[in-house]
Amino acid sequence: MRPVRPTEIPTAYSCIHKCVQEYAVKGVVAVSTRRVPNDPGRPLRILDAALEVAAEEGAHRVNHRRVAVRAGVPLGSVTYYFPTAEKLVVEMFRHLSTVRVVPLAELSQPMTRTQLIDRITSIVAGENRVSSFYQQLSYEMVVYGHTHPDVAALASEWHDRWREALAVNMSPQSARTMVALIDGWLLQDGVEKVPLTAEVVRSQVEAVLVGLEGQVPDDEA
């Protein structure tokens, strides 16, 4: 077989491409004309950028073009990994709920009532306070979930992890109530003019726990 001359390369390539496409139509081979970016960390950067857009502008403003600009990647990279805006938003919230979650390890350890109150207070209005970034995103996830079942399931799973952590030191029913209380505080704190104080939160958490779980002996407090 004679070698292909340089002037014949475009024609030869066209013939090969046509044949491969014909086989693809017949189901003989799988063909993708999209080039896979050689950047393993790019999908996570895209999702992080999407979270930033959602926190600043709302989940309804997340689209391929805005996220591409924020992530500093070509538009085609975003559409390659996330073909639709819906897919992008769902995976963004999955990333939030499974990767960028507030650490719950401390809450899930057995502790006294006083220690538990201190930990919850710290999360709401103390040193370990949930950032406004996560406050906004948790709100966006719940609101978006009202009309998107996939995101609703993610929000429910996220709350389940909070409830499971708290249930180590209280009943499951009390844990559910406490998570709702924490969520409400964090949501309101994002818009209230007067921020919550640790003293107010601590007293209210203690009162709720006494009402739900009863008093504990002094040596268990």
For residue 148, the one-letter residue type is H
Structure confidence at residue 56 (pLDDT)? 95
Low-confidence ranges of the chain (pLDDT < 70): 1-38, 100-103, 218-221
CA separation for the pair 41, 205 (Å, rounded): 41
Structure confidence at residue 24 (pLDDT)? 36
- Report the candidate in 46, 45, 174 with the shortest Cα–Cα distance to residue 120: 174
Structure confidence at residue 63 (pLDDT)? 97
Burial classification of residue 127, based on how many CB atoms lie within 10 Å of its CB (0-12 exposed, 13-18 middle, 19 or more buried): exposed
- Report the candidate in 94, 108, 119 with the shortest Cα–Cα distance to residue 182: 119
For helices 149-166 and 172-189, angle between their N-to-C axes, nearest 10 degrees: 120
Token pair, residue 137, equals 């995103």
Structure confidence at residue 6 (pLDDT)? 43
CA separation for the pair 219, 221 (Å, rounded): 6
List CB contacts of 79: < 8 A, sequence separation 6 or more: 64
Structure confidence at residue 31 (pLDDT)? 35
Give, rounded to a whole angstrom, the gap between the first and last alpha carbons of the chain: 89
Helix runs in the chain, H state only: 9-25, 42-57, 64-71, 75-81, 85-98, 113-125, 132-145, 149-166, 172-189, 198-213
Neighbours of 10 (CB within 10 A): 9
CA separation for the pair 109, 51 (Å, rounded): 30
Distance of CA 125 to the CA centre of its chain: 22
Structure confidence at residue 117 (pLDDT)? 96
- Sign of the alpha-carbon torsion through 143, 146, 149, 155: positive
Structure confidence at residue 10 (pLDDT)? 43
Structure confidence at residue 218 (pLDDT)? 58
DSSP structure class, residue 35: P
Our CA angle for 127, 138, 100, nearest 5°, is 70
Burial classification of residue 152, based on how many CB atoms lie within 10 Å of its CB (0-12 exposed, 13-18 middle, 19 or more buried): middle
Structure confidence at residue 68 (pLDDT)? 98
148: left (phi over 0), alpha (psi -120 to 50) or beta: beta
Structure confidence at residue 35 (pLDDT)? 53
